[in-house]
Chains A and B, each alone.
Chain A
Amino acid sequence: MRATARLVARADRHGRTTLAELRGESPLLLRQVPGPDGGVTVYVVGGAAGPLAGDDLRLDVEVGPGAVVRVHTVAASIALPGRPGAVSRMLVRATVEAEAVLHWLPEQLVAAAGCAHVADAQVEVAEGGTLHWRDELICGRHGEQPGHAEINTWVDLAGRPLLRQSLTVGPEAPGWAGPAVLGGAPATGSLLVVDPTLPPATPLVRGTLARLPLAGGPATLWTATAPDAHTLRSYLEPDDPADSLAAATGGRSAG
């Protein structure tokens, strides 16, 4: 199944965000819900279960100067096998202009047994833009080994490379479950925070959660592995990283 969707947000002269364009097609439907602070919140409503191998899904997001957009999904995506040899693809391209804010906070991606899934994200953030970008991968449904899943993330800030990351799990990725990559953890993810208003962060590690200030600008990557989906989410809540640290240290305060 092929589907494309597109979201274009602009700020009006009162600073309220409006959607200049919002269109999608099954299984990539977009629904606007009222959001806080003059911003807009959009949910990606998946059709049937999936993506299935063979699906080719593409979403473009444009956040114009001063606009504020939050994107969520209504449920976890479960990458499933399709016809033999086929790959499911999801490409998200996003641009975030100056003074604009994009929160990309979808539900988790579950790589089911036998799946072949490639998720690509290409994000361009202008100087002065704010981005919260979360990726979470669950390797297999309960008690199963995942198929092939690849999550590729390219983020540029002010026209320069900020983050390039490819995480591959499954039978074609040697050592993915081993002590160099995930160490047997079935859940892994990251939260990228680009925010020019935040003071520079210092690196910090608590258990299997790390806070990593990036080289290419006012940006921090939180990266984690976890024993389950719920624990992973508790590490990667964007609005309260202090809580994340407390979760990773088993409730103790994080110095």
Chain B
Amino acid sequence: MTATTIQLLVADGRFPAGAHAHSSGLEAAVAAGRVTDLSTLDEYLRGRLATAGLVAAAFAAAARSVAAPPGSDEAPGRRSALALLDAELDARTASPAQRAVSRRQGRALLRAGREIWSAATFDDLPATPGGPHQPLALGLVGAAAGLDAAQVATVAVHATVTGSASAAVRLLGLDPYQVQALLVRLADACDATATRAARAAELPPRRLPAAAAPLADIHAEAHATWEVRLFAS
């Protein structure tokens, strides 16, 4: 699989969807003393890949597969398929704080998508209060950008590790070269997770991955109560 320039643009942390504002639970894990150095960051990222990363990538790929090809007519089937994916993802996101963050990120991504691909249709996404879940928005933005489901899964997995990794540099003052070297070491695990997610995305929505992490829920709820924080999640 060759990465296209479009795929690199969508995956880039500078894509204007606000990804830089999120540590994906890392800020709370650092505050709890669970992530303190490069080796605990390594363990953190591997755990995220196997849980939140796999689920987000599978749902992004599934949404991409449902999405309308550019220029096609509206179809009620697509709308109900995306609504079901939205409900299934809600059922995999026990923490209200994580649900709110996912929808906020989805809304920001959707706004960017509508501006950039003005001819594409995003109206099949369910009109849920708070916005669509981020992986669903990513699936539709990926479709608008001409990415396939496997490429969308790779973008989702990439975002899972890079967001927390760059947050770690700021929160723990880690050496950025060392953190980048860690990401390079994780690249094969990222690709394997994306491949697994894209394959799983072909299952019925009920059977999509649901890998859970108790501390992710606990960290997210603790973080949401802070009055002062560096990151939005």
Q: Which A residues have a C-beta under 8 Å from some C-beta of B?
A: 152, 154-155, 160-168, 173-183, 188, 190, 203-205, 208-210, 212-216, 221, 223-225
Contact = CB atoms under 8 A, between A and B. Distances in A.
B213 A205 contact: no
Interface of B: 25, 29, 32, 34-35, 40, 43-52, 87-88, 90-97, 99, 189, 206, 209-218, 221-222, 224-225
A225 B29 CA distance: 14
B43 A210 contact: no
Contacts of A166: 209-212
A212 B221 CA distance: 8
A164 B49 contact: no
A167 B212 contact: yes
Contacts of B93: 215
Can you list the 4 inter-chain pairs with the closest CB atoms, starting with the nearest? A175-B47, A180-B47, A178-B43, A179-B34
Given A174-B47, A208-B218, A180 B91 contact: no
8 contacts: A161-B88, A175-B50, A179-B40, A183-B34, A208-B214, A210-B218, A212-B95, A215-B96
A48 to B, nearest CB: 31
A225 B44 contact: no
Nearest to A213: B96
Given A166-B209, A180-B25, A205 B221 contact: yes
A154 B94 contact: no
Contacts of A154: 206, 210
A183 B215 contact: yes
Contacts of B215: 179-183, 208, 225
A223 B44 contact: no
A9 B159 CA distance: 49
